[in-house]
Amino acid sequence: MQGRNFLEELKHQLHAGTMTNRLIIVNVCVFLVIVLLKKGFLLFNIDPLISDNWIHQLLDLNSSLPAFIRAPWGLITSIFTHEQFGHLLFNMLFLYFSGRFFEQYFTRKKLWLTYLFGGICGGLLELVANNVFPAMQGTNVVILGASGSIMAIFTALAFYQPNLQVNLFGIFPIRIYFLALFFLFKDLINIGTDDQIAHFAHLGGALFGLLSIQNLHSSKNILNRIDGFFSRFRTFFQVKKKVKTTTNRFKTDEEFNREKHLKQVKMDQILDKISKSGYDSLSKSEKDFLFNQSKNG
């Protein structure tokens, strides 16, 4: 059997692959589009500052409240956007690691919802923090990357299966719970530092991850509530299929007499069979026909 080529495999993964693979593909494709746009602007001698500013305004989440109001979609687009290859590579490796384990315990839909709303929750917390705390006001931090979404997935997994053992650097066995605590502690102690990392976005994603595993099999669970909302939303806007109606048509005398004759012929054949071989020799369809005829008189 001939294997799939690159484009066929890509299409297969998008349609039938794991949700982890799909998310990685989307993130990589967005990164490639950004790179191609920048190269295109460069070839047309467009000032890189202008092109970068345009891309940031279109895709990133800006912590400035006026900028957010002008482009609120940044809450979603920013969690698929990476500007540096190293940033993309680290996040996708982390996503592959945590997402692969996540899908062993939860559904692909839960992974998608955790990624999406974990990222949104992280973006909102970063936005609030930058506009509430005086030390962070006026900094106009640009938020981009899947880190908040991945922290939601990783934290949910770690607190749902705290004894799950992973090999750190492929060598040192460690419980995933301790890794999650390390990352949370790292973000907490680095809040307020000028390290160009959106620590509140990480913590917001982690918070959503914790909430996502509470009352897991109950309607109170946050993921179940979100899923239920979207199901009702789809049902509300679903176009109802038109019910086909059929009109009864009276049979002609000829049709009626022909059907009556055919039924009588079949009845005579069944009765003849009973007289020769007994009732038990009848097939199920013949017994059903005999029963219906006797019931209809």
DSSP strand pairing (165-168 vs 172-175): antiparallel
- 3-state DSSP: the chain helix, strand, coil percent, rounded to 5? 70, 5, 25
For 232-288, write each residue's pLDDT tens digit: 877 777 755 444 444 455 556 666 667 777 878 788 787 878 877 777 777 878 877
Q: pTM for this structure?
A: 0.76
For 182-217, write each residue's pLDDT tens digit: 999 999 999 988 888 899 999 999 999 999 999 988
For 148-184, write each residue's pLDDT tens digit: 999 999 999 999 999 998 887 778 889 999 999 999 9
Q: What is the pLDDT of residue 1?
A: 46
Q: Where are the beta strands (DSSP E) in the chain?
A: 61-62, 142-143, 165-168, 172-175
What integer is the mean pLDDT of 75-95? 96
How many CA atoms does the CB half-sphere of 87 hold within 13 Å? Answer: 17
Residue 111 contacts residue 24 (beta carbons within 8 Å): no
C-beta neighbour count of 117 within 10 angstroms? 21
- Indicate whether 84 pLDDT > 80: yes
**Beta-bridge partners for 61:** 143
Q: What is the pLDDT of residue 253?
A: 60
Helix (H) or strand (E) holding 1: none
Closest-CA residue to 126 (of 149, 155, 110, 99)? 149
**Cα-Cα-Cα-Cα dihedral of 63, 203, 115, 236, to 10°?**
-70
Q: Where are the beta strands (DSSP E) in 125-238?
A: 142-143, 165-168, 172-175
For 86-129, write each residue's pLDDT tens digit: 999 999 999 999 999 999 999 999 999 999 999 999 999 999 99
- Name the CATH superfamily, with its identifier, for domain 6-237: Rhomboid-like (1.20.1540.10)
Q: What is the pLDDT of residue 256?
A: 66
Region label for 274, one of left (φ > 0), alpha (ψ between -120 and 50) or beta (otherwise): alpha
Give the C-alpha separation, 60 to 143, whole Å: 6
Give the C-alpha separation, 87 to 24, whole Å: 13
Give the C-alpha separation, 281 to 9, whole Å: 58
For 44-74, write each residue's pLDDT tens digit: 888 888 888 888 889 999 988 888 999 999 9
How many CA atoms does the CB half-sphere of 77 hold within 13 Å? Answer: 18
